[in-house]
Amino acid sequence: MWTRDTAPPRPGDPLTVTERATLVLAPNANAWTFEGTNTWVLAEPGSDVCAVLDPGPDDDAHVAAILAAAGERCVAAVLVTHAHHDHAELAPRLAELTGAPVRAAHPRLTDEPLQDDDEIRVGALTVRVLYTPGHTGDSVCFLLPDEGSVLTGDTVLGGGSPIVKPGRLGQFFDSLDRLSEVLAAPGSMILPGHGPVLTDPLAQIERRRKARLRRVDQVVGALAEGVEDPEDLVDRLYPDLHPDLRDAARISVDAVLAHVQTTHS
Ligand SMILES: [Zn+2]
């Protein structure tokens, strides 16, 4: 298990996290991807088929690690939480290598985009699609109903906050509400797209909701004091910002500004 209190696995070393989910950390750590992208191999115990979720970057060592984690099992589906490169880049190649279809909500990745509540069967494994826009318009989470785990992509990260684009903050809060309902069952866990597994999902979602609302309050307060320039707001809200993350912070500030304009006027 990889939790907030334990070290991450080494990239490529498969880590069994639940009965149905094995984590293969991709070798793409950077300021945006934290420790790297979490690629998941999903299968019903004893099954001879599996799904690969968020295959990650197109990297030969990572492909080999994914196929090793799949082992004897045949890859029957390539699932993608959203079309960002760090999650989806490898999807077309993995689909070609394995003959498995890509299942995603973004029409760039598939002719048959996923819809909310779609059910995907991978052998005896059931995977349910939850449409959770916010981080992007095509963000979906995948529920494993038989164990209550939810694979959240970047909608809920193991640590930190995802970028939410301007105009999507309301959707993002709605998506957190939806996830809280789904994750209320005892034993439910969040298997995120980056960072450690969250074994206390409701508390973690609440923390993230409060963190985002605090940003909204900070912007409302700054605007009331006459600080309106988005770059000044970035300096004020993110005083110790890593320079690589300035663009991300600016998008987040713009999203809060758009949200404040629609909800506080
Ligand atoms: Zn990501």
Q: For residue 141, what are the β-bridge partners?
A: 130
CA of 33 relative to ligand 1 center, distance in Å: 6
Expressed in angstroms and rounded, the spacing between residue 209 Cα and the centre of ligand 1 is 19
CA distance to 99, 170, 262, per residue, from 244 (Å) = 38, 26, 29
265: pLDDT strictly greater than 70: no
Domain assignment present for 3:
no
By residue range, what is the domain housing residue 194?
A: 15-263
**Does any domain span residue 20?**
yes
Nearest to 128 by CA among 109, 146, 111: 146
Q: From ligand 1's centre to the CA of 34, what distance in Å?
A: 9
User: Would you say residue 141 lies in a domain?
Assistant: yes
CB proximity list for 39: less than 8 A, separation 6 or greater: 23, 24, 25, 26, 52, 53, 54, 55, 56, 62, 66
Q: Hey, what amino acid is at 227? A: V
Confirm whether 5 is domain-assigned: no
224 Cα to the center of ligand 1, angstroms? 34
The strand order across the sheet containing 102-103 reads 15-16, 21-25, 38-42, 49-53, 74-79, 102-103
Sheet holding 125-131, edge to edge: 119-122, 125-131, 140-144, 149-153, 190-192
What share of the chain has pLDDT > 70, as a percent? 99
In this prediction the pTM is 0.94
Neighbours of 61 (CB within 10 A): 11
CA distance 80 to 220: 36
Rounded Cα–Cα distance for residues 230 and 236 (Å): 10
pLDDT (0 to 100) of residue 208: 95
Ligand 1 centroid–CA 126 distance in Å is 24
Name the band, by pLDDT with cuts 50, 70 and 90, for residue 235: very high
Residue 243 DSSP one-character state: G
Q: For 127-159, how does the pLDDT look when each residue is reduced to its tens digit (9 = 90+)? A: 999 999 999 999 999 999 999 999 999 999 999
Is the CB of residue 146 less than 8 Å from the CB of residue 161?
no
> Could you give the angle at the alpha carbon of 141 between the alpha carbons of 138 and 142, nearest 5°?
130
How does DSSP assign 102-119, residue by residue?
A: EE-SSTTT-SS---TT-E
Dist. CA 88 → ligand 1 center (Å): 9
Phi-psi region of 238 (alpha: psi -120 to 50; beta: other; left: phi over 0): beta
Q: Say yes or no to pLDDT of 264 above 80.
A: no
Residue type, 9: P
129: tokens are: 């699609």
Kindly indicate the confidence band of residue 32, based on its pLDDT and cuts at 50, 70 and 90: confident
In a domain, 121, yes or no: yes
Region of poorest pLDDT, from 11-25, 176-190, 237-251 = 237-251
Residue position matching structure tokens 């758009």: 258
Contact criterion met (CB below 8 Å) for 256 and 219 = yes
- Tokens 């959707």 correspond to 171
Tell me, what CATH number does 108's domain have? Answer: 3.60.15.10
> What's the maximum distance between 2 C-alpha atoms anywhere in the chain?
63
Residue 198: predicted pLDDT: 97
Residue pair 252/219 in contact by the 8 Å Cβ criterion: no
CA of residue 89 to ligand 1 center, whole Å:
11
Query: Is 188 domain-assigned?
Result: yes
Into how many domains does the chain fold?
A: 1
Lowest mean pLDDT among 48-62, 126-140, 158-172: 158-172
Domain annotation covers residue 257: yes
Residue 94 lies in a domain: yes
